[in-house]
Amino acid sequence: MRLRICTWNVNSVRLRVEQVARFVAEQQPDVLCMQEIKCQAPEFPREAFEAMGLPHLAIAGQKGWHGVATASRLPLEPGADWGACREGHARSVAVKVQGVEIQNFYIPAGGDIPDRTLNPKFDHKLDFLERLSAKAAAAGPKAPLVITGDFNVAPGEFDVWSHKQMLKIVSHTPIELAAIEKLRASAGFVDLVRETTPDPTKLFSWWSYRAADFRASNRGLRLDHIWATPALHAQAFAGRGAEARIHDDVRAWERPSDHAPVIADLAL
Amino acid sequence: MRLRICTWNVNSVRLRVEQVARFVAEQQPDVLCMQEIKCQAPEFPREAFEAMGLPHLAIAGQKGWHGVATASRLPLEPGADWGACREGHARSVAVKVQGVEIQNFYIPAGGDIPDRTLNPKFDHKLDFLERLSAKAAAAGPKAPLVITGDFNVAPGEFDVWSHKQMLKIVSHTPIELAAIEKLRASAGFVDLVRETTPDPTKLFSWWSYRAADFRASNRGLRLDHIWATPALHAQAFAGRGAEARIHDDVRAWERPSDHAPVIADLAL
DNA sequence: GGCGTTCACG
DNA sequence: CGTGAACGCC
């Protein structure tokens, strides 16, 4: 079977249900991992997701900020909580579906100053990444595991509109690049979108709301990722390469999220 | 010629331009008197009104609150400012069109407690009404004058969903009923909607947002009025009665104002 | 620039 | 309930 996994920072699920419903109708993901739902679990628009054909929900919500949820066409089992957030924010939710564990993360943005001694938010981001690395290493490359979400890091030179300029900006600083590479290497994860479309093609999944015309300036970043362990990758893409892409057309819809959805198709 | 005058508390003109454009396209008012535009004059969506065929504008705006504007198909001359608002709010704008003076008011709501000694907002409302009465008396019954707007008073027993219950509620208390009757009598104004549809037919132009289904509960008030002096009434409705009505269907549109527009057709 | 918050207002 | 305001966050 095909398992279509999607990650999307929706920037308020209540405000964006219609766009989510349209995207789900058009692309038919089997599992939709959302970040920044910005509501508590009881406020989550369950009925709308039932109507979309994604009735199985795992929600980690909190008031106003952050919040993640995974919605599925197929029944979900709970996954292990990796306890990555030292601040107690609702930034991760784990599920198991069709024998695959899917860890859905909203990694802290990290504020403006890329110095962990000066900026507690940046310290928190790095701490979060370090905790993920430890858990992923413990899981190992043979686990049938996907980690996905808004990682708030653009890992590669071709994941930012200007590598040179972005090296000074939180999301692409050398310390973050080292931390995200350490996370990737911890279980040998394969970045499915980048495997599908290798360097040097530039790929972005986020564009600031501040640009009048995001297409024209195209100052994007690739912050949203779907990573598979080597064992799962071998199983899901036996012989072929990964099939994953960013649906950047969605960023041009009416009242969009600042993030575009990302889809990967696993053959299980 | 027919002069179609409309009054409408739009509750934010910037948020409601589309509904205003639809209503103007459907009903073709010649003069549209708006209240609660909730913006400063430079923020007023002039282009949208030009596109609607109402390019002539008289705007009294302020930041965030209140604000009135009169938009016209025909050129406007400025009318005399009656200086009714002691607080300096943008609550009135006066124009002359086709020889008729149109005074557009957003009379203060007056807070919750109907006691001028305890509640400065209620005192302000009564002061505003008293100042209007003095100015209207000075203008006299022979002036070609319309006063219109959101008066925030339901003057008659059949202008409220429950006369008995509303007598204790600001907008229909005995002291307000006396003040609004004094204003009416000051120049012998004719209430064009009530003349068109006499007592005991209940007529409302406002329904609270708080009711889930405003039609079902129908706890409305008639707060929005178009009043003509006797001389203008005699000229505009010679022989016949007035032709004025409340477009309450608009209250059921998507994202509506809590007030419905009111139209009167004058034959000049 | 577009989300959430709390607040005042109607 | 649904507008504005000011503020925090990304």
User: Is residue A9 part of an annotated ligand binding site?
Assistant: yes
Contact A39, A67 (CB under 8 A): yes
Residue A263 has pLDDT above 80, yes or no: yes
User: Which residues of A spanning 212-251 put their CB closer than 7 angstroms to strand C?
Assistant: 212
Q: Which residues touch strand D (CB under 7 A)?
A: A 65, 108-109, 111, 121, 152, 209; B 11-12, 14-15, 38, 63-65, 209-210, 212, 255
Q: Which residues of B are catalytic?
A: 106, 150, 259
Q: Which domain holds residue B63?
A: 2-263
Write out pLDDT tens, residues B191-209: 999 999 999 999 999 999 9
Is A258 labelled a binding residue? Answer: yes
Count Cβ atoms below 10 Å from residue A212 Cβ, excluding itself: 7
- Residue whose pair of structure tokens reads 């509506």 in the numeric block: B256
pLDDT in tens, A54-108: 999 999 999 999 999 999 999 999 999 999 999 999 999 999 999 999 999 999 9
Active-site amino acid positions of A: 106, 150, 259
Give chain C positions with protein CB within 7 A. Answer: 1-5, 9-10
* CATH number, domain with residue A229: 3.60.10.10
The 10s digit of each residue's pLDDT in A156-203 is 999 999 999 999 999 999 999 999 999 999 999 999 999 999 999 999
Q: What is the mean pLDDT of residues B120-144?
A: 97
Is B268 among the domain residues? Answer: no
Tell whether A225 is in a known binding site: no
**Gap from B135 CA to D5 C1', Å:** 34
Positions in chain D where some atom is under 7 Å from a protein CB = 1-5, 9-10
Phi, psi dihedral angles at B9 (to 5 degrees): -80, 105
Residue A33's DSSP bridge partners are: A7, A70
pLDDT band of B239, cuts 50, 70, 90? confident
Question: Checking DSSP bridges between strand B224-228 and strand B145-150, what pairing results, if any?
Answer: antiparallel
A72-110 b/e (C-beta count within 10 Å ≥ 16 → b):
bbeebeebeebebbeeebbbbbbbbbeebbbbbbbbbbb
Number of domains in chain A: 1
Per residue in B21-58, pLDDT (tens digit) is 999 999 999 999 999 999 999 999 999 999 999 999 99
Distance, CA of A229 to C1' of D8, in Å: 37
Distance measured from the CA of protein residue B251 to the C1' of nucleotide C3, in angstroms: 28
CA–CA distance, A59 with B188 (Å, rounded to integer): 65
Q: Is residue B48 part of a domain?
A: yes
DSSP bridge partners of B226: B148
CB atoms near residue A111 (< 10 Å): 16
Give yes or no for CB of A164 within 7 Å of strand C: no
Question: What's the whole-number mean pLDDT along residues B147-168?
Answer: 97
The strands making up B56-60's β-sheet, listed across from edge to edge, are B56-60, B68-72, B31-35, B2-9, B262-267, B244-246
CA dihedral for A209, A211, A214, A217, sign (positive or negative): negative
